[in-house]
Structure 1
Amino acid sequence: MLTKRIIPCLDVKSGRVVKGINFIGLQDVGDPVKIAERYNEEGADELVFLDITATHEGRKTMIDLVERVAKRVFIPLTVGGGINSIEEMHALLRAGADKVSINSSAVRNPDLIREGAAIFGSQCIVVAIDAKKHGDTWHVYVSGGRIDTGIDVLAWVKEVEQYGAGEILLTSMDADGTKNGYDVELLESVSRAVRIPVIASGGCGSIQHIVQVFRETTVDAALVASIFHYGEASIQETKCTLAEEGVEIRR
């Protein structure tokens, strides 16, 4: 059985880690290099670094910050935000990222998924999806959650798998930052639709929410931000609880 992964997420704006609710009301959390180093030392399985305003502001992800973070961490690092080309993927991987995450650019140009997978390997290509409930389904949003594409999430995840994505980072916009728990219905619907790993994102407010998402869905990893950023739970405490609950994790 594959172990479940605990992945702290660093949403970065203007060189600082921030956190908001439903993608708005961003508050400063701290320095990304120091926070990344702490999570590495505490036993995180991976890290996700997202430059959350790069696409909206029409600029590239901050390479220098990625380099500084990569020098301090020794676990897999996924970087996303404003990546629009193979050249930009290559620059981030050269700067120390292990995987690149694409969202808006994947919707605009799905061939970017295929080309990236062919050149760097599927394991390097993470497709991030921001999903929001619309009636009985979910729509894909882009530009940092600002634009509703009208694309059905379940149809889109099947497409990105066919294009060669190695992993899906799925964020529930409805749950994001609320600390009311992960969107179990959305996550399990997507997990059942694809064979590639799915990372759950949005809504974690306690260790029990992480236990719940692993018990009630078949996701492969849980992205966590607020409870780690604000010291409400530690990574080791989380892993000990998961182990006690019978969840297979890397100790």
Structure 2
Amino acid sequence: MLAKRIIPCLDVRNGKVVKGVNFQGIQDVGDPVECAAEYNRQGADELVFYDITASHEGRGVILDVVRRAAQQVFVPLTVGGGISTIDDFRETLRAGADKVSINSSAVKNPKLIAEAADIFGSQCVVVGVDAKRNGTGGYTVYVNGGRIDMHLDLIQWVKEIQRLGAGEICLNSIDADGTKAGFDIEMLNAVCDAVKIPVIASGGCGSLSDFSDVFEQTGATAALAASLFHFKELTVQQVKTHLKQQGIAVR
């Protein structure tokens, strides 16, 4: 059985790790390189940096963050936010990222997935997917941080992502995101049943049992969380200790 991965996610804005609190705006959490180094020390399997401003100006900031983090962190780095061209992929990988995550740009230009996989290898290409229930028993894909409904069926889209050559899918449930009520098990199972590439669970994690539940009840290969780690409610090591006690293989 492959070991399950625990992945802290760091949202970066203006060179700082930030997190929304109770939908009341954005709170600074700390320096992204210091945060990354701490999660590396705790035993994180990978780290995700996400440039939430995703602007041209912010791109320079995030690349500098990636360069500095890559010198101090010895686990794979995934970087996303505002990446829409092959040149963006190239610059991000050169800065020290191991993987590049695309979301809105993949929906708007699916050929980017195939081009990036062809040039850099599937292992470098992560496609983030934001989806929510549509009221008819299925799920619909959204872009631009979950604000724009693309009227695109989730299962059709993840099958297309796999066909185009992506190495991994990071599935974020808009319904569960921020609730701390647990991962969206039903949505994860629908996607894991539809594809063979690894699926990262994102959105809704609020407790140790949520981590074990997602691995016991779905085919997800990794679990991503942000607030739990940033606000020191849990450490990566506590999560891994709990998973081992539940008989779940971790690194």
Give the TM-score normalised by structure 1.
0.95
| Superposition map of 1:162-201 within 5 A | 162-201=163-202
Residues 113-170 of structure 1: CA deviation (Å, up to 9, x unaligned):
0000001100000000011221111111111222111111111000000000000011
Distance 1:23 1:105 in 2: 25
Shift of 1:80: 0.3
Residues 176-217 of structure 1: CA deviation (Å, up to 9, x unaligned):
111111011111110111000000000111111001101111
CA contact (8 A) 1:182 1:209 kept: yes
Quick one: structure 1 residues 153 and 220, their matched pair in 2 at CA, closer, same or farther if it must change by over 3 Å? same
CA contact (8 A) 1:19 1:177 kept: no
Q: Which amino acid aligns with 2:87?
A: E
RMSD: 1.5
CA contact (8 A) 2:127 2:161 kept: yes
Distance 1:218 1:20 in 2: 29
Quick one: structure 1 residues 182 and 21, their matched pair in 2 at CA, closer, same or farther if it must change by over 3 Å? farther
CA contact (8 A) 2:146 2:174 kept: yes
Residues 81-116 of structure 1: CA deviation (Å, up to 9, x unaligned):
000111110101000000000001101111100000
Report the identity percentage. Answer: 60
Matched residue, 1:114 = 114
Quick one: structure 1 residues 182 and 22, their matched pair in 2 at CA, closer, same or farther if it must change by over 3 Å? farther
Matched residue, 2:211 = 210
Matched residue, 1:27 = 27
Distance 1:51 1:77 in 2: 13
Distance 1:73 1:242 in 2: 24
Residues paired across the two proteins, number: 248
Distance 1:226 1:233 in 2: 9
Unaligned segments of structure 2, at least 5 residues: none
Shift of 1:28: 2.1
Give the TM-score normalised by structure 2.
0.95
**Greater shift after overlay, 45-54 or 190-199?**
45-54
| Superposition map of 1:83-232 within 5 A | 83-135=83-135, 136-232=137-233
Shift of 1:23: 7.7
Matched residue, 1:6 = 6
Quick one: structure 1 residues 198 and 7, their matched pair in 2 at CA, closer, same or farther if it must change by over 3 Å? same
SS of 2:48's partner is strand
Matched residue, 2:42 = 42
Unaligned segments of structure 1, at least 5 residues: none
Shift of 1:34: 0.7
Distance 1:160 1:21 in 2: 32
Distance 1:126 1:78 in 2: 8
Matched residue, 2:80 = 80
Quick one: structure 1 residues 230 and 60, their matched pair in 2 at CA, closer, same or farther if it must change by over 3 Å? closer
SS of 2:117's partner is helix
4+ residue runs over 6 A deviation: 21-24
Shift of 1:60: 5.8
Shift of 1:24: 7.3
**Greater shift after overlay, 132-141 or 187-196?**
132-141
Quick one: structure 1 residues 106 and 74, their matched pair in 2 at CA, closer, same or farther if it must change by over 3 Å? same
Q: Which amino acid aligns with 1:194?
A: V
Q: Which amino acid aligns with 1:188?
A: N
CA contact (8 A) 1:22 1:176 kept: no
SS of 1:188's partner is helix
Distance 1:95 1:164 in 2: 23
SS of 1:19's partner is strand
